[in-house]
């Protein structure tokens, strides 16, 4: 296993693909299907080339190369983080044993399912974002969108490699199915709900890359701990790419908030609509929506499946090795919120079955850091309004709060009362239409749309005015 990537091959890789002819042929026959999918479901805006980073090594430093690339010629490849020959299983009943280089028969079905569910999210987001290029607020943003898109395509490759290399015929069938399901499709939708929602505008895109890609970070973090070493190493490298996606979300919302605050001060009003800005009230509703649908991705708070994944060593906790406990959790308990007799109460639950809850708590704390950051921007601009995360039980369709109606501040309500307040809390058709009305493309280098501030700096040391994208 080397840290550098072989680009002379049809499929760039650092897994010595040419050493396994059968696998190489199988993946080479999947490649044109992927490219067809990219052509049909990938970015709809025609471009000549885009300033993209491409992975050239998986090492700590200098893993990326930057240059203008025609999108369909992006070198999607297979990159696993370097193998640690001494790595041992960090948790569960196999704790202390060497990690697995092959899939143990007893865990085959479960591991394949975990990989398919993760793999399904990757192309889904590309499909959801297909039309956004038509309304990009700047060339800088357009480039970031395409960078995220090609990397999500590469994450699909990462999962497809595992399916082909380790799961035989059923793995190959699942790899085909990953291209057959489509986001929002009536007959064959994507597996998880949030990946069938549309991403109709750029505020939704920034929110998606903040909240939903961040869910991805936490899911990948648990798979990085896996005893199945190829999965662990794949996820370790995907996490490096994922960091940029979340940067796009974090700084995207920064720039919306900054612009709104600026207009509020300049015109001494909360309603910045006449000046082409997005009112904070709408930003808050988008936060409420994207946060709550992303929380659903963590599944039920309690799950015996997930307990079994942990005990079996398939999926660990966020930063498992930094946790100060026995990594078995057979004796531990956790307090999990439930709705009982019309009240939200904390129920003591065996820690092993509350692992989804554990992961969600890590995620919630991380999301709060974004709020703090955006509120600092408001404070520095002299604006009194603040953004906040809604209660975890708000607008939920999965887990303990599904079927209950909670306000953003966590009060239980009747379905009718909740419905009557819904439009105060979640984006209305009118809100979305207003945001859509602002979505007009700005393709001139150095120019930016009215509703968002320019970034502090460009990509890879280039200025904001750089021609990140050449349209065709």
Task: Select 175 or 344, whichever has its Cβ closest to Fe ion.
Answer: 175
From the list 53, 75, 143, 155, which residue makes contact with Fe ion (rule: CB under 5 A)? 155
Determine if 405 is a binding residue for Fe ion (CB under 5 A).
no
Q: How far is the CB of 226 from Fe ion (least distance, A)?
A: 17
Determine if 296 is a binding residue for Fe ion (CB under 5 A).
no
From the list 127, 174, 213, 431, which residue makes contact with Fe ion (rule: CB under 5 A)? 213
> Per CB under 5 A, which region of 152-160, 248-256, 339-347, 461-469 contacts Fe ion?
152-160
Q: How far is the CB of 150 from Fe ion (least distance, A)?
A: 11
Sketch the per residue contact string, 224 through 263, with Fe ion: x for CB under 5 A, - otherwise: ------------------x--x------------------
Q: How far is the CB of 213 from Fe ion (least distance, A)?
A: 4
For 194, 247, 303, 330, the CA distances from 298, given in Å and listed in that order, are 11, 21, 11, 22
Determine if 217 is a binding residue for Fe ion (CB under 5 A).
no
> Per CB under 5 A, which region of 21-29, 111-119, 121-129, 336-344 contacts Fe ion?
121-129
- Site size for Fe ion (CB under 5 A): 6
> Per CB under 5 A, which region of 26-34, 147-155, 280-288, 446-454 contacts Fe ion?
147-155
Q: How far is the CB of 122 from Fe ion (least distance, A)?
A: 5
> Per CB under 5 A, which region of 151-159, 344-352, 384-392, 429-437 contacts Fe ion?
151-159
Contact residues: Fe ion, CB under 5 A: 122, 152, 155, 213, 242, 245
């Amino acid at each position: 296993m080397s840290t550098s990537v072989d680009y002379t091959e049809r499929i760039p890789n650092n897994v010595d693909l040419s050493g396994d002819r059968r696998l190489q042929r199988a993946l080479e026959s999947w490649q044109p299907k992927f490219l067809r999918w990219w052509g049909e479901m990938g970015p709809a805006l025609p471009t000549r080339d885009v300033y993209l980073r491409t992975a050239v090594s998986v090492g700590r430093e200098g893993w990326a190369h930057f240059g203008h690339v025609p999108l369909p010629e992006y070198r999607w490849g297979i990159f696993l983080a370097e193998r640690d020959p001494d790595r041992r299983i960090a948790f569960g009943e196999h704790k202390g044993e060497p990690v697995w280089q092959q899939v143990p028969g007893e865990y085959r079905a479960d591991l394949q399912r975990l990989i398919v569910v993760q793999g399904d999210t990757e192309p889904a987001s590309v499909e959801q974002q297909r039309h956004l290029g038509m309304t990009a607020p700047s060339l800088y943003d357009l480039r970031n969108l395409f960078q995220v898109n090609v990397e999500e395509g590469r994450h699909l490759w990462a999962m497809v490699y595992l399916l082909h290399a380790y799961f035989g015929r059923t793995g190959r069938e699942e790899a085909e199915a990953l291209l057959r399901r489509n986001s929002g499709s009536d007959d064959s939708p994507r597996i998880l709900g949030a990946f069938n929602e549309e991403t109709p505008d750029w505020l939704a895109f920034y929110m998606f890359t903040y909240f939903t890609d961040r869910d991805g970070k936490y899911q990948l973090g648990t798979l990085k701990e896996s005893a199945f070493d190829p999965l662990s190493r794949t996820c370790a490298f995907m996490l490096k790419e994922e960091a940029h996606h979340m940067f796009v979300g974090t700084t995207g919302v920064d720039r919306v908030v900054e612009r709104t605050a600026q207009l509020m001060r300049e015109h001494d009003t909360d309603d910045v609509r006449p000046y082409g800005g997005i009112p904070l009230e709408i930003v808050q509703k988008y936060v409420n929506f994207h946060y709550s649908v992303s929380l659903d991705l963590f599944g039920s708070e309690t799950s015996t499946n997930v307990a079994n994944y942990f005990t079996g060593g398939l999926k660990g906790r966020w930063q498992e090795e930094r946790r100060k406990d026995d990594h078995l959790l057979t004796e531990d308990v956790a307090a999990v919120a439930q709705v009982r007799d019309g009240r939200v109460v904390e129920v003591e639950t065996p820690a092993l079955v509350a692992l989804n809850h554990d992961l969600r708590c890590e995620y919630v704390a991380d999301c709060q850091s974004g709020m703090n950051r955006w509120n600092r921007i408001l404070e520095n601009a002299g604006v009194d309004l603040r953004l906040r995360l809604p209660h975890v039980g708000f607008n939920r369709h999965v887990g303990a709060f599904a079927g209950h109606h909670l306000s953003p501040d966590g009060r239980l309500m009747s379905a009718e009362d909740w419905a009557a307040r819904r439009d105060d809390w979640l984006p209305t058709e009118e809100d979305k239409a207003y945001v859509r009305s602002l979505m007009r493309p700005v393709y001139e280098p150095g120019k930016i749309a009215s509703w968002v501030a320019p970034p502090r700096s460009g990509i890879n040391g280039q200025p904001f005015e750089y021609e990140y994208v050449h349209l065709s």
